[in-house]
Amino acid sequence: MQRTILKNKNQITLISAILIVFVYISKWTTGSTDLFIWPLIIASILGVAPIAIQAYQALRVKVVSIDVLVSIAVIGAFVIQNYEESAIVTFLFLFGSWLEQRTLNKTRSAIRELTEMAPESALKLSADGSFNEVGIEEVAVGDVLLVKTGAKIPVDGRVLNGEGHVNEAGITGESVPARKEKDANIYAGTILENGTLQITADRVGEDTTFGRIIELVEEAQDSKSEAERFIDRFSKYYTPVVLVLAFAVWLITGNFELAITILVLGCPGALVIGVPVSNVAGIGNGARHGILLKGSEIIRDFSRTDTMVFDKTGTLTIGNPSVSETMFYADDKEEVLGYLASIERESDHPLARAVLEEIGGTTFSPVQNTEVVKGAGITAEVNGHRVAVGNVALMEREQVPFNEEAKADIAHLVESGNSLVLTSVDGVLKVLMGVRDPIRKGVRNDLRRLRKMGIKNLVVLSGDNQGTVDVVSRELGLTEAHGHMLPEDKATYIKKLKKEGRTVAFVGDGVNDSPSLALADVGIAMGNGTDVAIETSDVVLVNSDFSRLPHALGLTKATSFNMKQNIAIAVGVVLILLGGLLFSEWVNMSVGMLVHELSILVVILNGMRLLGYRPRQSYKK
């Protein structure tokens, strides 16, 4: 019976509205009161039924909810035979509940749109060379898939053959379709607008970028901010206080109608709903624009950030360095390059990839007794020779002497903003390479926007040499630049900033950034970074789009301010109604319930404004 009543709550609301309208039309047209009482009684009984059931369910778990206050108020109206008030109050409460749910559904639409984008099938290459449609759960890493025009891309992967334009708005927030050709990266949930692609699957199911977006956003919605937790605690005690206050007013004044009116006016509905709706809308906006905010607590911390610290490689730079200059100090060039390539092919460091690309085809030799020197480089034995590959610190550790020519070359490369890769064989310097990693396009403008939005300190920390870091810092106009930083040094620096009372956000992408991402007040990971970095971060910029960072900061500031607006609206309405009740005659039970429901609708609509948030024009490039 209870389930049936709650299931048909909307229909009950409609019937109550019809009965109330019928009564007023009858009263105004005929002047007769014969048909006036019973429709109001029926409307009151129908309306209070679902409210009373919800009140009973709340009391069973020892919670005094808004439904309890309204149920008592309606019963009180019955006792004093004010059926008009009881009918209107129940209708307004049910109608407000319907409006609230309908508006909240729109607020959550950004999240729902994401889940609806999930691909359900794929065209998979079979052993006979044909492509057959299979369920997405049957696709494994390494499978070759065919994507046709208009189809959703089912996995994260790379293009093997073909070309076309892919709409990546659901993942990156970028509205302009991206051109894809051989070896280009693609993402599950995006749509191939034209062309045909054969792709190989690198990530499938929940491991795809799209799958992680949905998971992170759902987790974020379930989390509660400090403000929400405070309001939950406040409501837990506030509602019983309203009951006691109404009872005390009745005992003191003997005015039962005044007491039940206080119950209606004291409903904290707008206060309870205001903060969650702001959070959900803010998180939804971020998800639609390639920004994952992992919870409501992050919104508060990020909005207060005054210091932003960046890793250099892969964050401020594109993470795809190339060799700019090479100097040799021996005649056995080919042999030394073979040793260098043999060691570097065992490393996944961006500098190693750049060196291998520069060397190209060569003769590889077996590598033994490899030792990775943290923050310095690698030593190993190759064909019976001790080979060291790394920076100046490693050469000093290996006691490799530098002649005047080498010292001048090193100074020149450092001043030009190069990272250094030195190679010694048996304690003799053989090769010096300068490697440069281009700065991301538009980063300077993005950093300027961050300054305008209240970030006072912009700091870069890097394991690279100080000269290279200084060049990047000057080019980007950063506040501070620190080179030769090991992962533990970065973490120590973050701790130091926090002890100084700064609210710190750290932006990085590698495994070595994970300690700093975890220690900072807000850890921000580039979406193309390592899984460890993404897991330990609080905010993820999908597709490593640095230009989303100002949007993310502006969004959290707007969301935090929106929460405060909603709290002010909710508290202000209650104070105005109570003041009107005590010092004027315009407030009664029906008016109180009407204003109460309108206030709920106002805070929801105010929160929904965040769905359309864009950074202010003055912040744009």
Q: Which sequence positions are flagged as catalytic?
A: 311
Indicate the DSSP class of residue 312: I
Asked whether the beta carbons of 376 and 351 are under 8 A apart, the reply is no
Asked whether the beta carbons of 83 and 42 are under 8 A apart, the reply is no
Q: How far apart are CA 392 and CA 406, in angstroms?
A: 11
Count the neighbouring beta carbons within 10 Å of the beta carbon of residue 499: 8
DSSP letters, 358-390, are HH-S-----EEEEEEETTTEEEEEETTEEEEEE
The token pair that represents 597 in the structure block: 């429901």
Reduced to 3 states (helix: H, G, I; strand: E, B; else coil), residue 246 is helix
Name the one residue in this structure whose structure tokens are 């009858």. Answer: 26
Reduced to 3 states (helix: H, G, I; strand: E, B; else coil), residue 49 is helix
Q: How far apart are CA 538 and CA 526, in angstroms?
A: 11
Q: How far apart are CA 438 and CA 320, in angstroms?
A: 8
Asked whether the beta carbons of 323 and 433 are under 8 A apart, the reply is yes
Q: How far apart are CA 82 and CA 86, in angstroms?
A: 7
The token pair that represents 316 in the structure block: 């401020």
Name the one residue in this structure whose structure tokens are 């202010």. Answer: 616
Asked whether the beta carbons of 422 and 431 are under 8 A apart, the reply is yes
Indicate the DSSP class of residue 223: S
The one-letter code for the residue type at 431 is V
Q: How far apart are CA 590 and CA 46, in angstroms?
A: 17
Name the one residue in this structure whose structure tokens are 């639609």. Answer: 288
Parallel, antiparallel or unpaired: strands 504-508 and 307-311: parallel
The token pair that represents 190 in the structure block: 């995006």
- C-alpha to C-alpha distances, 143 to 153, 155, 235, nearest whole angstrom: 13, 10, 54
The residues near 234 (Cβ < 8 Å, ≥ 6 apart) are: 268, 271
Q: Phi-psi region for residue 145, left (φ > 0), alpha (ψ -120 to 50) or beta?
A: beta
**Residue 254, burial from CB neighbour count under 10 angstroms (0-12, 13-18, 19+):** exposed
Q: How far is CA 402 from the centre of its chain?
A: 50
Q: How far apart are CA 347 and CA 421, in angstroms?
A: 13
Q: How far apart are CA 186 and CA 359, in angstroms?
A: 29
